[in-house]
Chain A
């Protein structure tokens, strides 16, 4: 009974990661790109917790806590960059910064 939720959980984590990656490729709004990166980090954390539950160890949750700290630092710096970009270009479109030269 414990075995096959773990298998399906790995599939679930892969599906969530794929949705987030497709979002990064498709969306042109920077806030949505950041949101999709959060989704992908969440999926990776789910895979770590699944591994920890499979082997009955706490290490998976420890890795999840590290991912959480990394996501918090990343989102704070990313949002500061987004605000700087909005003040500079008056837009949140990623195609705008593609024209940035030098």
Chain B
């Protein structure tokens, strides 16, 4: 059962990632990337890593892809946005990600109704991850916090408005 679901989620990840790379429109590509991230999250859950699965959904699908989507929306607003919006409402646009996400939902429901919380014999829950993170890897956590604060400062510095827009 777990093996079959593993292959279903893996095939979905490959298909949606390939579609995300090849779409001409950035918004469609980001939709397919969200499906790929969700199927990777199901894979993590099947591998006995529920904390990584939750973080994948929250941080990747919830923060990083939304940030990319914000920038796409900000930069593409100029000319074709209204026609773009009209074409986005057609079913032929959202039917692909919809079908892939529906297959993923079916796999998840099958997994949850099976009664197994996460596949296999070894499950490393959030407690084990937190213990490993804050005992042997404490220096790594501090370095990651340096990296994040420098990322925030760098993004603020690069993203500020210039006083004189150059011609």
Contact = CB atoms under 8 A, between A and B. Distances in A.
B13 interface: yes
Given A9-B6, A20-B17, A62 B159 contact: no
Contact of A69 (B47, B144, B154): B144
A32 B49 contact: no
A23 to B, nearest CB: 4
Contacts of B75: 82-83, 86, 92
Given A12-B10, A31-B72, A35-B30, A61 B52 contact: yes
Given A29-B26, A46-B40, A65-B55, A77 B154 contact: yes
A4 B6 CA distance: 11
B22 to A, nearest CB: 8
A4 B157 CA distance: 48
Nearest to A53: B47
B55 A64 contact: yes
Interface of A: 1-2, 4-5, 8-9, 12, 15-16, 19-20, 22-23, 26-27, 29, 31-32, 34-36, 38-39, 42, 45-46, 49-50, 52-53, 56-62, 64-66, 68-77, 79-84, 86-88, 92
Contacts of A70: 144, 147
A16 B14 contact: yes
A16 to B, nearest CB: 6
Contact of A27 (B21, B44, B132): B21
Interface residues of B, number: 64
B71 to A, nearest CB: 5
B112 interface: no
A38 B34 CA distance: 12
Given A19-B18, A29-B26, A52-B124, A75 B68 contact: yes
Contacts of B64: 38, 71-72, 75
A83 B21 CA distance: 21
Contacts of A39: 17, 20-21, 33, 36
Interface string B118-153: 001110100011011100010010001001101110
Contacts of A5: 2-3, 6, 46-47
A72 B49 contact: no
A56 B124 contact: yes
A58 to B, nearest CB: 4
Contacts of B6: 5, 8-9
Given A77-B154, A86-B75, A19 B21 contact: yes
Interface string B1-39: 011001100100110011011000010011001001100
